[in-house]
Amino acid sequence: MIIEESLRRISSEPHEDFYQVLTPEGELLIPIDGMIDNSLAVGMYRHMVYARTFDRKCISLQRQGRMGTYAPFEGQEAAQIGSVLALSDDDWMFPSYREHAATVTRGQPLQTVIRYWKGRLDGGVGYREKHILPPSVPIATHLLHAVGAAWASRIRHEAAVSIAYFGDGATSEGDFHESLNFAGVNRLPVIFLCQNNGYAISVPFNKQSSSRTIAQRASAYDIEGIRVDGNDVFGVYMAVSEARKRALEGQGPTLVEAVTFRYGAHTTADDPKKYRDQEELLAKWRKRDPIHRLRRFLEREDLWDERQESQLAADCTEQIDQAISEVLSLPPEQPEAMFEHVYAEAPWHIAEQREELNRILRKDGMQS
């Protein structure tokens, strides 16, 4: 198979030991015929532009005080969108808190994502129709859930895989290793998709691990490991497609390390200038931008032009503004809602906390 052979290829750049299909200049390193057609390539571009536009809108909303703390993903669009487009409708998706580009591309309404970051209970849900689980904030715990779902798919003889999204910081958690071990022992149909953006909040990868790569950790569990250019949407798509194919053939799990970079802060409560040379790193990584490289390719193939670009920008703005307007027009969430949906009958300490909150709200005139 061409893809199996090419997955062993590495970038021509000696310092970048990863699988790459589309260079930062928008040139193909290997043929993509039969794997990515023109329609899919254009669709990838549309999804990435849409995702970047709503990501920037959400940061703006947070700065205006109309949204809570938000986790931006600009720079990581290819890792998220390339991977999710390689899935089928029957597959199961387990996101962490930064995968809004992936979940929206799979079909989750943008309104749900905005509700989540506004702190509304109705935003903290998954999307059953598309097999998307709720976003997981505890680091790496959802990898175990993905392994469990993959085991269930195996027992039910379903042609479905589970994919878990996480960052490089999660690979230092015990749950990561337990998940890979159990999935490896039982050869489960699961894909572990690590977006290695170089920083676990403020901790650079070389300060949390002596491993040169994350993908190499797969060998400890005798499972497949792939290190791919995470800013190359073609490369990510083909790597995850191959991992999915192997999983459905009973060849077990794959650890995919997508090497990428978040341009901005870990969350809007963070300041990356405190722990890294933001100007120098941005200058370096913007030369590898996932959207710009795909646009160069599309223009070279006469699949994209300025007129389409202008229309796409207008369409994205209109759709995103409409979604934001719908959510902002909702009545405000009641603070007492935080106590609901956990216990059928609240234990004494929760009841006390709820009563204390109610006293404060009544004192401040926020409750009748």
Where in the sequence numbering do the catalytic residues fall?
A: 262, 266, 275
Write the DSSP symbol of residue 285.
H
Task: Give the span between the Cα atoms of 92 and 197, in whole angstroms.
Answer: 24
Sort strands 92-94 and 162-167 into parallel, antiparallel or unpaired.
Answer: parallel
Give the pair of three-digit tokens for residue 329: 């027009």
Taken in order 171, 174, 175, 179, the sign of the CA dihedral is positive
Task: Give the span between the Cα atoms of 353 and 365, in whole angstroms.
Answer: 18
Cβ–Cβ < 8 Å for 101, 82 = no
Cβ–Cβ < 8 Å for 29, 20 = yes
Angle at 234 (CA atoms; ends 35, 230), nearest 5 degrees: 145
**Phi, psi at 55, each rounded to 5°:** -60, -45
- Amino acid identity of 175? D
Cβ–Cβ < 8 Å for 114, 325 = no
Give the pair of three-digit tokens for residue 90: 């029957």
Task: Give the span between the Cα atoms of 81 and 67, in whole angstroms.
Answer: 24
Residue from 263, 332, 316, 266 nearest 115 by CA: 332
Q: Which residue has the tokens 């009841």?
A: 351
Q: Classify residue 212 by burial, with Cβ atoms within 10 Å: 0-12, 13-18, 19+.
A: exposed
If phi > 0 it is left, if psi is from -120 to 50 it is alpha, else beta; for residue 175 that is alpha
